[in-house]
Structure 1
């Protein structure tokens, strides 16, 4: 019984570790900042909960300051699985694009339809999270700021173009190297085969010559 218990304990630990690894991981990725006029655009805002085992609730508030303004205005709020558009400039154009069907929010992203040039400006996302421990609650606040620019069409930076060119150059160079390596290996194998054939032919001739000499010696003895 003791031996079986010792084997079951590591198995239980392994299953617990696998369950932990299988949970969805939260990664804080910066939002895009360049939107195209008359198209949709996602404003990303992710705030990962560091203590995944602790129950929590969170609310998200967005604020907007246009490029010609000096103060932020309340844009949008999301709490208790309910969103509310506060700034009338975004009525019927803004939708929740974050965590679904949960009060323990980690993704507070929103999506804007039919982006206009007036949407250019600074957006601020605020996470208000309450961690619920056994004997007390702990409140945290996280702010993320995004400066969005609206352009007629997507423009690619020089760094992006150069990285793509280098990628294709690397692929072509690798293919050429593989072709050269294949030719080298083929020639080496071919040369080795020819050498083996020559050695076999020489050995065969030597055996035939020896057999002929033996036969001649037998005939002379007779």
Structure 2
């Protein structure tokens, strides 16, 4: 392979990898956790200008159900996590972007969820966009309303999907049976006609 072809292939691979890393989709967090199990509190904020270098600090706050004020529970910056509230010590793990100061996924994982964890969680993306001549601070806030239940409940969408799956399977089997009967009759009629012609 010529050197120019190798160079072109290298540039294409670099471009492809860069585009893959830049992909980001903001998906809402689940909102129902089961007591005694772990739960991922999702929080994603995509950076609109992927070519601009930036740093980001993530902060999580919690407001228990029935309370007015939020309490600071977690901070993540430059690969270092800090649990800010004693009720969450040894219960929170970082579940977001790794190996980068340019964080777009600020999700955390809470271990051993209890009913006391029911309430509203707020995550802040404190992002600093670094331009050649100045820096721009962009703060994004997202809320997750968490409900803790004793046993997992199935959502309406899940039930409807399962019913539709069974209806589709049964419908396809009936259609296949009708097609088999139709084909059998056609073959049988053709065989009888061939016998009459031979006679």
* TM-score band w.r.t. shorter chain: 0.7 to 0.9
More relative contact order, 1 or 2 (CA 8 Å, 6+ apart): 2
Q: How far 1:157 sits from its partner (Å)?
A: 3.3
Structure 2 equivalent of residue 126 of structure 1: 124
Length-normalised TM-score, structure 1: 0.76
Relative to structure 1, the CA distance from residue 188 to residue 22 in structure 2 (aligned partners, 3 Å threshold; closer, same or farther) is farther
Alignment of 1:146 with 2:144, yes or no, is yes
The match for 2:92 is 94
1:205 aligns to what?
A: none
Alpha-carbon separation, structure 2, partners of 1:93 and 1:157: 27
Trace 1:10-159 onto structure 2 (pairs within 5 A): 15=12, 19=16, 23-24=20-21, 25-159=23-157
Deviations 1:149-172 (A, max 9, x none): 111110123443233112211122
- Select the structure of larger CA radius of gyration: 1
TM-superposition CA deviations, 1:17-40 (whole Å, max 9, x none): 971686142111111111111111
2:186 and 2:148 map into 1 onto residues whose CA distance is 61
Change (3 A) 1:109 1:182: same
**Could you give the per-residue CA deviations for residues 18-76 of structure 1, whole angstroms, max 9, x where no partner exists?**
71686142111111111111111110111112222222211110010011310111111
Say if 1:91 and 1:187 are closer, same or farther in 2 by CA, change over 3 A: same
> Deviation of residue 95 (structure 1)?
1.0
Give the TM-score taking structure 2 as reference length: 0.84
Moved more, 161-170 or 26-35: 161-170
Distance change in 2, residues 1:187/1:132 (3 Å):
farther
Aligned to 1:208: none
Distance across 1 between alignment mates of 2:169 and 2:12: 41
Aligned length: 191
> SS at the partner of 2:126?
strand
Deviation at residue 129 of structure 1 after TM alignment: 1.4
Q: Please give the alpha-carbon distance, in whole angstroms, between the structure 1 residues aligned to 2:191 and 2:15.
A: 53
TM-superposed CA distance for 1:109, in Å, is 0.5
Cα displacement (A) at 1:175: 2.3
- Of 21-30 and 111-120, deviating more is 21-30
List gaps (5 residues or longer) in structure 2: none
Assess, with a 3 A threshold, how the Cα gap between structure 1 residues 76 and 188 changes in structure 2: closer, same or farther.
same
